[in-house]
Chains A and B, each alone.
Chain A
């Protein structure tokens, strides 16, 4: 995995206005991701598993979640399914230790914004996070418009 892009690039601070979550069962991955993204001025909230994330995160608000696919309690795909079910505007970036093509295709079909294999280049991840955050904001607006539209028709 190439690292020269990091060392050679001009470090710019990325303004990500929405919350970023990291869900991974491996403490070192969570911690190191947080450390690395902190270098890009991206503050993240980390969770050790799917249930903790779903219970505590503001999942109905725009945001970005980096999901590990292989976790003991809930798999990344399961978390994605739950988020889709409750019309969460959160953008999902998969970060997997052992991905293959079919897994990536499934993830994209289910609405994931990006799909990475560990270890991932920080800059690419940050770029993906930035994009995901923008998408999430747009999607949130669409969803709220849809919801208000739906509620209107109900009353009538």
Chain B
């Protein structure tokens, strides 16, 4: 079947070559070889024994297939009448269809707007034959856009429409979008913002006007004269629409919001011969301006092709010229051209990166060192503080013992001596001096105790403004290293509005230190087997008149009775003095507050500190 077809095709081609394109149709024959359909069609023609050349004409159907046929069929008929043995066939296309047709060489001649003409012309081998001449303006520059709004809308200028609902033909439509985009850009408006809410409705363009009329959109971008054509055809009522920023020249009958660009042009693809193209051009140029074909095409005939530089410039300004390469290609070209500089830049960047990495490495290393040093420092500090405390307490205890022991020793001696004498039956008068001396020694011991008390209380209690939360933070900072070593987790909560107290900051900090150290010790004294983490919760609760500070640990809990806890010098710790809680109680009571200890649930101890707030 296929071999028969191929034979037929070859026979037809031979005929076509010899009879129709005898002179130079080699390339076109090869091209047509791709399209067996068309070739077999030629074969049919051959069968009729009449050598008729078929020319496929693609036209951009901006207003639909019907309108395209009405507009261009007369021109094709004119060409057919001027060129013997030819048949011109009309193919209305959309923008995309047109591009496909040109790409696949399935059309011989294209008639399209300047936008597409330039796009196609820069990508495919097209030769321009003629430009449509218009009765408008200078005749050749008649393409542009109009920004149409409803007459009753509040829009006055282009800029008013920015960001509103706009309808346009397509993102690559020339008169239906691109010219307007450039106009907007040239007015200093950001096109992206202006067309933030744009919808592309495609061909036919009439639909866009109807959408605008019916209020689906606020404005419409349409090719110039679209509105006027529809008005003339009676499709819309006069006075319903307005065109914004009309800048149309005096001799230009249509309203216009943009620059004017060259009119539609006709071009041949490489599918037909130059000879045929010459004939077509001659026929087009010979078309009288008042001929029916001219009128149907809204023109006054054809002129030789005019420059499309302004269209090129438009594409360039919109940064979408077909010959424009993407930036990375441009960069690659530049790098190839300037290799030495590229290497310099590359090496420089490499060096910088290496330097950066090196700095980063050194920085992190010294940071680690600093942290380690800081930790060591904290450790030493803690050890020093501990040693100092031990030394002070030791010295104090030793001195106190000596001082107190002297009178106690004397009292014991006197009393023992006195008793001996009484037991021996001595006279009471022999004992009296001993008793008097005992009294003296008791007074002496009392004096020592009084002196010690004043010494301890000598520190003037200076009350100052004190934010308990700041104090807590400071205190926790002091203990941070210690807690870290003991792997104790501290959590803090704060309820209510923080109120600044008027308090003895040093005293309160001593209280916090004592309580927190106690809690930490309690956590450490737990059985090792417990799997739960050692934890201390600090909760501050501010109410109208008081601050309740609760410090809860999950340590060993309370082992002593509350009566025992109230005594100074009572301790359950191996090396404890039994002074911590007594000091806490004293300090808190000096602030008219309340200090209490209670077991926590399920294990541990809860310390509650109530402090009145200043009113």
Contacts and interface: CB of A to CB of B under 8 A. Distances in A.
A73 interface: no
Contacts of B424: 11, 39
Nearest to B438: A32
Interface in A111-149: 117-122
Contacts of B441: 28, 32
Contacts of A97: 401-402, 405-406, 409
Interface of B: 398, 401-402, 405-421, 423-424, 434, 437, 440-441, 444
Query: What are the 8 tightest A-B residue pairs by CB atom distance, in nearest-first order?
Result: A39-B420, A32-B413, A36-B417, A118-B409, A119-B409, A122-B416, A119-B412, A36-B413
Most chain B CB inside 10 Å of its own CB: which residue of A6, A39, A117: A39
Nearest to B426: A39
Contacts, number: 92
B444 to A, nearest CB: 7
B412 A11 contact: no
A3 B415 contact: yes
A36 B414 contact: yes
A7 interface: yes
Nearest to B401: A98
A33 interface: yes
Contacts of B412: 1, 3, 32, 119-122
Interface size class of A (residues with CB under 8 A): 20 to 34
B416 A70 contact: no
A78 B414 CA distance: 29
Interface in A87-129: 95, 97-98, 117-122
11 contacts: A1-B408, A3-B416, A29-B409, A31-B410, A32-B441, A35-B413, A36-B417, A39-B419, A119-B405, A120-B412, A122-B420
Contacts of B415: 3
Contacts of A6: 416, 419-420
A28 B406 contact: yes
A28 B421 contact: no
B406 A39 contact: no
A39 B421 contact: yes
A70 B401 CA distance: 13
Most chain B CB inside 10 Å of its own CB: which residue of A7, A32, A40, A121: A32
A4 B185 CA distance: 114
Contact of B411 (A40, A70, A119): A119
Contacts of A1: 408, 412
A15 to B, nearest CB: 16
A33 B406 CA distance: 11
B413 A119 contact: yes
Given A32-B417, A35-B413, A35-B434, 9 more contacts: A6-B416, A28-B406, A29-B406, A31-B437, A32-B409, A36-B416, A39-B417, A39-B424, A120-B409
Given A6-B419, A28-B444, A38-B417, A119 B408 contact: yes
A58 interface: no
Contact of B407 (A28, A31, A35, A122): A28
Most chain B CB inside 10 Å of its own CB: which residue of A3, A35, A37, A98: A35
Contacts of B417: 32, 35-39, 122
Contacts of A11: 420, 423-424
A32 B437 contact: yes
Most chain A CB inside 10 Å of its own CB: which residue of B406, B408, B421, B444: B406
Most chain B CB inside 10 Å of its own CB: which residue of A40, A98, A117, A119: A119
Interface in A6-40: 6-7, 11, 26, 28-29, 31-33, 35-40
Interface in A32-60: 32-33, 35-40
Contacts of B416: 3, 6, 36, 39, 121-122
Contact of A118 (B408, B420, B434, B437): B408
A1 B408 CA distance: 10
A98 B405 CA distance: 8
B437 A28 contact: yes
Contacts of B434: 32, 35
A40 B426 CA distance: 13
A39 B414 CA distance: 10
Given A6-B420, A36-B420, A98 B413 contact: no
Contacts of B410: 26, 28-29, 31-32, 119
A7 B414 contact: no
B423 A118 contact: no
A119 B409 CA distance: 4
A129 to B, nearest CB: 13
A33 B586 CA distance: 40
A33 B411 CA distance: 10
B613 to A, nearest CB: 47
A118 B406 contact: yes
Contacts of A7: 419, 423
A33 B413 contact: yes
Most chain B CB inside 10 Å of its own CB: which residue of A38, A117, A118: A118
Contacts of B418: 35, 39
Contacts of A32: 409-414, 417, 434, 437, 441
Contact of A40 (B405, B409, B420, B440): B420
A33 to B, nearest CB: 5
B310 to A, nearest CB: 110
Contacts of A35: 413-414, 417-418, 434, 437
Nearest to B416: A122
Contacts of A36: 413-414, 416-417, 420
Contacts of A28: 406-407, 410, 437, 440-441, 444
A122 B413 contact: yes
Most chain B CB inside 10 Å of its own CB: which residue of A1, A29, A120: A29
Contacts of B440: 28
A68 to B, nearest CB: 9
Contacts of B408: 1, 118-119
A26 B406 contact: yes
A38 B204 CA distance: 139
Contacts of A38: 417
Most chain B CB inside 10 Å of its own CB: which residue of A36, A40, A120, A121: A36
A33 B414 CA distance: 7
A48 B441 CA distance: 18
Nearest to A33: B413
Contacts of A70: 402
A40 B416 CA distance: 10
Contacts of B419: 6-7, 39
Most chain A CB inside 10 Å of its own CB: which residue of B409, B414, B437: B409
Contacts of A98: 398, 401-402, 405
Contacts of B423: 7, 11
Contacts of A118: 405-406, 408-409
Contacts of B411: 32, 119
A33 B434 CA distance: 11
A13 B41 CA distance: 159
A29 B440 CA distance: 12
